[in-house]
Structure 1
Amino acid sequence: MQAHQNTVDPEEVAKFEAMAAEWWDTEGKFKPLHMLNPCRLDYITSQIAGEFDRDLSAPEPFKGLRILDIGCGGGLLSEPMARLGATVVGADAAAGNIPVAKIHAEQSDLNIDYRHTTAEALAEAGEQFDVVMNMEVVEHVASPISYLTACRQLLKPGGLHICSTINRNPKSYFVAIIGAEHVMRWLPKGTHEWSKFITPDELYKLLEDAGLEPVDRKGFVFNPILWSWSLSAKDLSVNYVTASLKPKT
């Protein structure tokens, strides 16, 4: 069996482990994710429904699909997927996130398989999924190409990979670091490293090099007047998301 490089960055894991207990505090350190979550879910659910021919108005439209939420944190995306009927595995390299996620799922009467593990370890174990959700993780790993290769190996042929991250340009430095960490203080200083941000073209190339076929990308755009997020086909200047497929053969 092929051995995988461990792409976990211990310093990055420690940052999020220190914030673990605050995952479900909508006014705490993860306020930006709670605000972004409805927009993220709109994109994720529409991509899954389109790829697997599911009717989102039906009860449990994702029943029969096995979904991996890699870098699941406290379960902000795992729980909605479980409510839609999917069999969900939530994985995180930060051990402190898992008990938080498990407790909240139990309180919500949801059956989610949360594990303290990595994409590489799951791939080595031969795990297979219809969908891999890889949201706001790739900018925190030591080797994006090794990490994305493991994500591709975790997909069944024809499987869907959804990956979001932050663009690298002067605007993203101002918005994601100066704005979010220093001005709004939504996140602790040092949460993000601008040098690790990835442009959309760079991510497309990484996905292709990892053996995936990119099929879509959209921007997540924050409106400070309406205080809300929306999807944009043109503005990928800060936060953005991609969809890609594992070839069927």
Structure 2
Amino acid sequence: MSETTINDAEIAKFTAMAEEWWNPKGKFKPLHKFNPVRLSYIRDNLISHFARDTTVMRPLEGLKIVDIGCGGGLLCEPLTRLGATVTGVDAAERNITIAKIHAEKSGLDIDYRVTTSEALVAAGEKFDVVLNMEVVEHVDNVPLYMKSCADLVAPGGLMFTATLNRTARAYALAVVGAEYVLRWLPKGTHDWRKFLTPDEIHSLITRNGLKVIEDKGVVFHPIADEWKLSDDTGINYMVLANRPA
């Protein structure tokens, strides 16, 4: 039997919530609030790295992007509108079903698949951009998962990894606060023991042939009721890396 990154309990958890993906006031409300900051970060870095024209409607035209653990397609759809050729991958079949229905209603052509990162590697696929966003804390066999994501990055391409830091603050705010006090997320959404530090993510990235470009924290501003980029990586953070050409 081949190795897998699938955690059946995590798949069941997100399958149960699948109908909520596109409800901005539902169980994924925090992700809808979080989405603009991560989308702008991705867009800005793609335009800079690939020297794209910011004056055109579809500046990402011709770029091949894969979103691993795409859920209902909250990143896939806007990136497609920006011109990218997007493949959305999720191990939960119900997530992909919801994503396909919503994309069709929106008139968007997105290649959604029920599969895994390691299966894409086995098929010999490569992408200009790999999105590994809020997934690593939900998989089994993290080293295999990170290797498979890195192996999908074409020479000269980028990988974005977003996750939660394993700190006391992250436990207090992202688990106790978000799940039990504020009720932003269903109880049991996150297991603090599966969070990874930036140094751990860096090690997993560099051992697989990629170079870390930067870390960027994401913090919530309650008065503005929005997420913003920050140098504070103590709770939520993103790591940008590239594969040298």
**TM-score (norm. length: structure 1):** 0.96
Q: Give per-residue Cα distances to partners, 1:31-57, cap 9 Å, x unaligned.
A: 111001110011101111111111233
The AA in structure 2 aligned to 1:125 is A
Q: Give per-residue Cα distances to partners, 1:109-135, cap 9 Å, x unaligned.
A: 100010000000011011111000110
Q: Give per-residue Cα distances to partners, 1:137-176, cap 9 Å, x unaligned.
A: 0111112221111111111111100010000111100111
Runs ≥4 residues deviating over 6 A:
none
- 1:74-223, aligned counterparts within 5 Å? 74-223=72-221
Q: Does 2:229 correspond to 1:235?
A: no
Mapped contact 1:152–1:211 kept (Cα < 8 A)? yes
Which range moves more in the overlay, 93-102 or 143-152? 143-152
Q: Does 2:228 correspond to 1:244?
A: no
Aligned to 1:47: 45
In 2, distance between residues paired with 1:51 and 1:238? 26
In 1, distance between residues paired with 2:191 and 2:12? 14
By how many angstroms is 1:10 displaced? 0.9
**TM-score (norm. length: structure 2):** 0.97
RMSD over aligned Cα, in angstroms?
1.2
Paired residue secondary structure (1:165)? strand
In 2, distance between residues paired with 1:69 and 1:57? 25
Consecutive unaligned residues of structure 1, counting only runs of 5 or more, are: none
Mapped contact 2:69–2:91 kept (Cα < 8 A)? yes
In 2, distance between residues paired with 1:19 and 1:40? 22
Identity %: 54
In 1, distance between residues paired with 2:237 and 2:30? 14
